[in-house]
Each structure stands twice: as C-alpha cells, then as structure tokens.
Homo-oligomer: A and B are copies of this chain.
Amino acid sequence: MSLRYALLGLLAEQPASGYDLTQRFEQQLATIWPAKHPQIYGELSRLADAGSIEIDSEGPRGRKVYRITDAGRAEMRRWLTEEPVDHTMRIEPILRSLFYWLMEPDDLERHLEREAAYYREQAEVFKQVAAAKDRGDYGDAPHVKSMRITVEAGIRLYEALADWAEWAETASSGRSCEMPRVDAGEPFASRTDELLKGFGTD
C-alpha cells in the first residue's frame, strides 16, 4: 500500500512518467523504499483508474507523464494525517544477529567488519547529500526541506547500525564476553511489563 502513496507524494512535487519515477526510486529511494518498475507501472495504472492521477502529456516511445489530481492530493493528505503509521520493520542483518552463536568466531568477525563498513558507507552517502542540501544546492522548496529530514533519518539509522556492528565486534571477540552494563533506570509499569514477558530463553 505504501508504494501507492510514495508515488502520489512524488507526483505532488511535479509531474513525472513511470520511467522518471523508476529512476528516482533506483537512485534516491533505493535504501529507503526500494521499488522496481513492474510494481511502479502497475501502481500508476491503478492510481489513474482511481482518478488520483491523470495523464499530463505523452511523449516519444510511448512515454506517459502523469500529474496528480485534486482528488489525489486530498487522498495523500488523508493518508498522511489519518492513516495509522505502520511501524513494521524487517531488518535481516538484525535477525541474523540472533544466530551469531552458530557461527565460527572468524566468520563472525569477518561478517561484522563487512557490515560495519557497509553501514558506514551508507551513512557517508546520506551525509554528503545532507551537506549538499545544507549548502543550498537544491534550493529551499518545501519538499527539499522534507527530504532533508528524511536524509537525517538515513544518517542516524546507518550510523547507529555501524556503531552497533563495531560494538558487536568487540563484544564477541572478548570471549570472556564483557558486555557494557545497561542502566535500566526506573522499571516500567503495565504496557512495558506486558511487552517484556516471554523475552526469556524458552
């Protein structure tokens, strides 16, 4: 469902063709919300059927440029303000970490080094973009400001993952496994306790 609104949102910036949008997903959104052309073209057809977007113009090679309609803009705003946020997160490398105990120490160390390097590089890419935006390279249109916020999320997320992978390296290498103590602070009531139960081994 989210892709539908991603397309609607991008078309709220400016008209674009399926090809244009595919490029943008490949180049800018690959790490945020990957999408390939078959899904994009399909979703565009459905958005057009629903009247949320319409053909703006047609070009060579069957190129079809879409633009958002008033109904589409309204639908987008409805989604943003009324539709509950989906906090689902599936990060395979984190799932993998549950099973680190099954790996040979050498394999694990190699794995964690690569992971840290990957995350660090991604963070660096986002930082470069942020710096460019802060320099004003992209102007100060409203959607550029929003993108600056999105990019900040990328920086912080990948930085956090890189730090985590590096921490895990030292945490795993010392076989006497000295974990830095976490300060638990005030124990929580109700909700947290509920979420907590069953977090044991069995």
**Chain A 182-202 near chain B by CB (<8 Å), digits 1 or 0:** 111101100110011111111
Q: Which residue of B lies closest to A23 (CB)?
A: B198
Please judge, given known A-B contacts A90-B33, A149-B171, whether A80 and B99 are in contact too, CB under 8 Å: yes
Interface bin, chain A = 35 or more
* Residue contact B128 to A103, C-beta cutoff 8 Å: no
8 Å CB interface, A86-130 against B: 86-104, 107, 111, 114-115, 118, 121, 124-125, 127-130
Please judge, given known A-B contacts A95-B32, A149-B168, A152-B168, whether A103 and B87 are in contact too, CB under 8 Å: no
Residues in chain B near residue A195, CB distance under 8 A = 27, 125
Residues in chain B near residue A155, CB distance under 8 A = 182
Residues in chain B near residue A184, CB distance under 8 A = 127-128, 130-131
A-B contact pairs, 18 of them (CB 8 A): A27-B198, A32-B98, A34-B90, A80-B99, A80-B102, A88-B92, A91-B157, A94-B154, A97-B146, A125-B188, A125-B196, A127-B182, A128-B184, A130-B182, A131-B184, A139-B201, A153-B161, A160-B160
